């Protein structure tokens, strides 16, 4: 972050995430700036072409591994997509992850079959 908006951005993120410590806020802001904003721009440009739908999702489940310090780390969604939670320790074998993996893998399978990311 640089420029005159730094204080406003920090204030906004502190309001949005009141329980986060400074390190977690830095991770959240950096992730949004480097990944999320660019992903949204890419999806908007794809959708503007009008040739095919553009879909996106945000995987925000936070792993309990390392006392939660990894938060919702890059590629954490992969074992959920393939419903392979038992094959990796990254989820901490959390029972809360099981229903999320079931829905996520079913949604990706539906998208592969039909081009629509929905199980409804």
pLDDT of residue 2: 59
Give the number of other Cβ atoms within 10 Å of residue 86's Cβ.
11
Q: What pLDDT score does 120 carry?
A: 85
Q: State the average pLDDT over residues 35-43.
A: 94
The beta strands (E) that lie in the chain are given as none
Residue 107 is encoded by which pair of tokens?
């949604």
Query: What separation in angstroms does the CA of 38 have from each of 24, 30, 45, 46, 90?
Result: 20, 12, 11, 12, 26
Q: Say what the pLDDT of residue 88 is.
A: 85
pLDDT exceeds cutoff 60 at 34: yes
pLDDT of residue 1: 56
Question: What pLDDT, on the 0 to 100 scale, is given for residue 16?
Answer: 95
Instruction: State the average pLDDT for the chain.
Output: 92
């Amino acid at each position: 972050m640089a420029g005159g908006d730094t204080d406003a951005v920090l204030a906004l993120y502190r309001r949005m995430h009141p329980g986060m410590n400074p390190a977690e806020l830095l991770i959240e802001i950096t992730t949004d700036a480097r990944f999320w904003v660019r992903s949204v721009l890419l999806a908007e440009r794809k959708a503007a072409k009008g040739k095919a739908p553009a879909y996106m999702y945000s995987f925000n489940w936070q792993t309990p591994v390392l006392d939660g310090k990894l938060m919702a780390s890059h590629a954490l969604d992969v074992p959920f997509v393939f419903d392979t939670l038992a094959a990796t320790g990254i989820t901490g074998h959390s029972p809360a992850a099981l229903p999320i993996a079931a829905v996520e893998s079913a949604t990706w399978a539906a998208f592969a079959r039909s081009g629509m990311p929905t199980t409804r």
